[in-house]
């Protein structure tokens, strides 16, 4: 089974799908209705269940019509088989604080469906969030960081943040200018505020937006020494210099 999709293909496919879904609405949109993309465009059925998978980090699943999912039913674990193409998510994603996570999981499963339709890649996959506090087995790590799952994360990011929308949002907040980062991770507070405002508008996490901005070439990486010099020109680090 052919599983590898060239990165440029992922960008073109995902952005093309979003533009076809939006049609004339593309010029006015500020946030992608990702659930609408799955339901209205892909014609997928979305369900929410209380997951009972052995891996507690599994929170999304798209059925191949053959592989069952473990869920809780009347206090018991059961294996439930859904019709092919049914997308199932853990109910905890419906909590308001999990909105960004839910949107990314929806986009990820949409990526699995799109790649299945175009390239014949397999359905029946579980989407698993990575838990920094958990100790994983080698098999679990291989699944977490498989090429297919990484590609679906990339496609999810493009579904939620297509380049045309990134450019329009940057124009709104920075007049289209890239955002500076010092070293690998340090942003000035004004730029952190911009990233937060942009991510809130797009319905994604700031970290997801930052990764997407890097891939689109809209993060301007500067040496950390420039930050030190910037502070020196402001008058130094002491309280009486502020």
The residue behind tokens 């809780």 is 72
* Confidence at residue 1, expressed as pLDDT on a 0 to 100 scale: 42
Element of type H or E holding 77:
strand 76-80
* Confidence at residue 217, expressed as pLDDT on a 0 to 100 scale: 94
Question: Which residue would you say has higher pLDDT here, 81 or 55?
Answer: 81
How does pLDDT run across 186-236, given as a tens digit for each residue?
A: 999 999 999 999 999 999 999 999 999 999 999 999 999 988 888 888 776
* Confidence at residue 116, expressed as pLDDT on a 0 to 100 scale: 85
Residue 133 has pLDDT above 60, yes or no: no
Residue 184 has pLDDT above 90, yes or no: no
**How many beta carbons lie within 10 A of that of residue 76, not counting itself?**
8
State how beta strands 58-62 and 69-73 pair.
unpaired
Q: What is the pTM of this model?
A: 0.83
């Amino acid at each position: 089974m052919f599983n590898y999709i060239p990165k440029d293909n992922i960008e073109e496919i995902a952005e093309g799908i979003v533009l076809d879904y939006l049609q004339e609405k593309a010029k006015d949109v500020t946030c992608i209705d990702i659930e609408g993309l799955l339901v209205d465009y892909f014609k997928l059925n979305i369900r929410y269940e209380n997951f009972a998978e052995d891996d507690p980090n599994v929170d999304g699943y798209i059925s191949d019509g053959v592989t069952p999912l473990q869920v809780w039913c009347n206090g018991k674990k059961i294996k439930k088989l859904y019709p092919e193409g049914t997308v199932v998510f853990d109910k905890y994603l419906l909590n308001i604080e999990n909105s960004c996570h839910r949107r990314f999981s929806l986009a990820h499963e949409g990526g699995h469906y799109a790649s299945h339709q175009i390239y014949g890649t397999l359905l029946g996959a579980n989407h698993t969030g990575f838990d920094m506090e958990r100790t994983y087995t080698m098999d679990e790590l291989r699944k977490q960081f498989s090429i297919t799952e990484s590609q679906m994360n990339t496609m999810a990011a493009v579904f939620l943040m297509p380049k045309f929308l990134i450019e329009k949002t940057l124009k709104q907040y920075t007049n289209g200018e890239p955002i500076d980062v010092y070293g690998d991770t340090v942003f000035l507070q004004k730029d952190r505020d911009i990233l937060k405002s942009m991510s809130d508008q797009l319905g994604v996490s700031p970290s997801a937006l930052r990764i997407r901005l890097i891939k689109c070439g809209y993060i301007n990486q500067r040496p950390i020494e420039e930050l030190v010099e910037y502070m020196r020109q402001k008058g130094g680090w002491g309280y009486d210099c502020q």
